[in-house]
Amino acid sequence: MESIYVLDILNACVAVITAICATYLAFFALKHSAKPRAIVTFVEPFQLEKKETALLKFQFKNIGHWYAKPMVVNMTVFINFDESFDPIEIRFGSIQEIVDKNVRTGKGNLKFLKAKGIKIVYSEYYEEVHVLTKCPENAGTYKIKIDAYSENGLDLTETFFVDVI
């Protein structure tokens, strides 16, 4: 009779240890397979003058997850403008030292500039991207669409609206 109780206690201990190990392995797998998460904010300016050349600023921040904070590796950013805009150049890097002036036309006749190779660590404050563009000749509200992806799974799409007065 006493040996039955010992076996029951032993089985319970083995079950608890197995459950703890399985939970640890599941959390470890979740943490190390997490895709990065980031947000983009349109910093300034929110209103533009007709026909002016303006510097638009965007901030990208790695927000991670509660269980993991993976780094964003080699992020490629596409900043798409309404066809009424005339984008001139995109600047990025720690002091906006990387400049690209290759303006192309993409889907929906949107003009876009591309920034490549951006890395964002969770503990960094943000990565800033500047775009120099000539504003439309007509007043109105115009769309700016941002698409970004990275080697390790980031997928980001955001749309902003700017007023031209």
Q: How far is CA 5 from CA 1, 12, 18, in A?
A: 7, 11, 20
What is the average pLDDT value for the chain, to the nearest integer? 90
User: Residues 101, 21: one domain?
Assistant: no
User: Residues 83, 98: one domain?
Assistant: yes
pLDDT classification of 1: cutoffs 50, 70, 90? low
The tokens describing 155, both together, are 């997928």
User: Residues 45, 84: one domain?
Assistant: yes
Count of domains observed in the chain: 2
* CA atoms of 121 and 110, how far apart (whole Å): 30
pTM of the complete model beyond 0.85:
no
Please name which of 73, 78, 84, 85 lies closest in space to residue 35, comparing C-alpha atoms: 73
User: Residues 28, 43: one domain?
Assistant: no
pLDDT digits (tens, 9 = 90+) for 58-95: 999 999 877 878 889 999 999 999 999 999 999 999 88
User: Residues 78, 151: one domain?
Assistant: yes
pLDDT digits (tens, 9 = 90+) for 98-132: 999 999 998 888 999 999 999 999 877 889 999 99
Domain extent, residue 49, equals 38-164
